[in-house]
Structure 1
């Protein structure tokens, strides 16, 4: 037997890891700098690491009921919403799946940005939905507006918007989010992905939940909090349909260790401040010093137009700096460079400038 026809679903292509590149190229892993997956170069919150060790000592044999409740309450208090409005999930990907389960009937459509995070489409198709796209223009600097989404809108059940956007780094203004929410049908859910929200200076769309019951906002602990390996995230949703969570949630999907680490990370203001300030410095440094056009970014990465992304990324790997070839996003001329530490970022820029001098026509 065979699984159902999955030919319409393209697999997610992650950034290459240190071990993978080191093995393929015969390099020493310790000599490589990984700037391909938008991870926190400062690691996890020390408080979160302590919480992981403590939970391991206390035992991993219990289901995460209390930890899940505690994290829900803490997140609700942080954002000034009711506990029922927080859906704790296994990463932001889990939030996408839960919202697809809650909203999509077979054959209904979702509207997604192109380029954009491929899992929006994957989740819709996993739940027997259809996918339409609205285009972000490279020529316009990947500007994001309600008009561009509405031009492609045809009554889809879900519209995904990303702020800051991956891989471009651009943002939605709150006024544009409001315009979109007011313009779509009552039965269309607007999902705002704020996975990189901690790096942005704009207010979260969670602040609009009191006004709109067709809005959901996703966040994650993978980026600024440095907990990517634990897969913990959440969605903030309208109180009017909060009870759907119990019907779509996978039992105990957010594990005990992840919940405890997230609880501790929320209290580590110093780690968040360091992570955000470091990313701001790295973005500015790359935009000023890289010998290639870059796009304005509010996230922990910069998108650069290098002409031949595959070649530049390959040469960069051989030189010890792993970056993201954005061909899988439909941007064969662009690479995405995650913000590293100051030393890592300077090394990356020096390495890439040397490569660009060789591969870019005079």
Structure 2
């Protein structure tokens, strides 16, 4: 059972650093397969909730992990030298521009802690990654959620929000965006970065970049010292269980991040696995092609079922469930899917109560999803 939310009185005489921390709701992860099995006794579970790679990871990764098993009593290389060198070569930057993290969330947290105080403002879009608003509360800062009419990023409105709040220190932009799957073009992003003060850090969260290489904005780093790109090995590379990500930035920004990051924040196994994963770009290409093929198939099935969806540039698709039938909505659909062993992600926490986010799985996973959805929607 989850513990009750803390209050000022329940903490007394201890107090939180900022009252905004008490307004936080713990981050809701996708339901684990094991939990669903315990709750409903379902053994044949299909998990399409957390945007994991259904192909797993490169076979080279398992070999790299095996080679580390005899060294688990040893601390990892605290500087991550070999992985950082590989990332620098891959992205055509200097090693000094790379910061490693315990997943990309760790790096987002480092950026907030390093650049945002309680007197500052963080700007982000409506329907963007929920962690951005959480970071504002953790820092005791002001979080400005900019409305968007089309489930993506309204850069004109975000530019105005920065202008209206001169104490803005960070702007978070997810591209492709999670959970909506929308994408910004390189030209409009460059225009946005050009238009904001150099004192504002523009953080491009590219967790899904491998599924949409045309949205790679690495070139901005050559022009702007206030741009940071954050990426992860959790999605296309299939290393979600190892927690490793990285940031590319100007040298001064990387220097600051490396001063405040925890020692040994990436494990020995994760360092070796990520280096092996990065080296196998054939696996990434196979992942991208499989995802694109299955995405097209799912879109056709949703059309056939009369379900609306947002065109996605990632490895998930956001589907609307507002069926004109009694008791049929996103909440009831989510529950019915769970009871039949299919896990997807409800989006009420994002202010999208009528939508579900569905990860693109293998062909057999997607067929199971559609067959189950069809049976739910056609029940008498």
Q: Equivalents in 1 of 2:296, 2:144: separation in Å? A: 34
Q: Equivalents in 1 of 2:25, 2:124: separation in Å? A: 15
Alignment correspondent of 2:317: 302
**Ranges of 4+ aligned residues in structure 1 off by more than 6 Å:** none
Q: Which is worse superposed, 268-277 or 83-92?
A: 268-277
Q: Which is worse superposed, 152-161 or 74-83?
A: 152-161
Does 2:172 correspond to 1:163? no
Mark the CA change 1:54 to 1:3 in structure 2 (over 3 Å): closer, same or farther.
farther
Q: Equivalents in 2 of 1:111, 1:258: separation in Å? A: 32
Task: Please tell me whether the aligned partners of residues 67 and 256 of structure 1 are also in contact (alpha carbons under 8 angstroms).
Answer: no
Gaps of 5+ in 1: none
Q: Which is worse superposed, 207-216 or 59-68?
A: 59-68
Gaps of 5+ in 2: 1-12, 323-328
Does 2:29 correspond to 1:22? no
Alignment correspondent of 1:352: 373
Where 1:117 maps in the other structure, the secondary structure is coil
Q: Equivalents in 2 of 1:305, 1:2: separation in Å? A: 44
Alignment correspondent of 1:136: 148
Alignment correspondent of 1:80: 92
Task: Please tell me whether the aligned partners of residues 103 and 243 of structure 2 are also in contact (alpha carbons under 8 angstroms).
Answer: yes
Mark the CA change 1:20 to 1:165 in structure 2 (over 3 Å): closer, same or farther.
same
Q: Equivalents in 2 of 1:328, 1:172: separation in Å? A: 23
Q: For residues 1-362 of structure 1, what are the structure 2 equivalents within 5 Å?
A: 1-4=13-16, 5=19, 6-28=21-43, 31-57=44-70, 59-65=71-77, 68-137=80-149, 140=150, 142-153=151-162, 154-155=165-166, 156-290=168-302, 291=305, 292-307=307-322, 308-358=329-379
TM-fit CA distance, 1:66: 6.9
Q: Show CA shifts across 1:281-302 (max 9, x none).
A: 1211111112211111010001
Q: Show CA shifts across 1:110-148 (max 9, x none).
A: 0122112121122232233221111233xx3x2434213
Task: Please tell me whether the aligned partners of residues 67 and 260 of structure 1 are also in contact (alpha carbons under 8 angstroms).
Answer: no
Q: Which is worse superposed, 74-83 or 149-158?
A: 149-158
> RMSD value over aligned CA atoms?
1.6
Task: Please tell me whether the aligned partners of residues 147 and 154 of structure 2 are also in contact (alpha carbons under 8 angstroms).
Answer: no
Q: Equivalents in 2 of 1:164, 1:243: separation in Å? A: 27
TM-fit CA distance, 1:203: 4.0
Where 1:157 maps in the other structure, the secondary structure is strand
Where 2:228 maps in the other structure, the secondary structure is strand
Superposition TM-score, scaled by structure 1 size? 0.93
Q: Equivalents in 1 of 2:206, 2:99: separation in Å? A: 15
Q: Show CA shifts across 1:164-198 (max 9, x none).
A: 11111001111111111111122111101000010
TM-fit CA distance, 1:95: 0.7
Q: Equivalents in 1 of 2:81, 2:138: separation in Å? A: 29
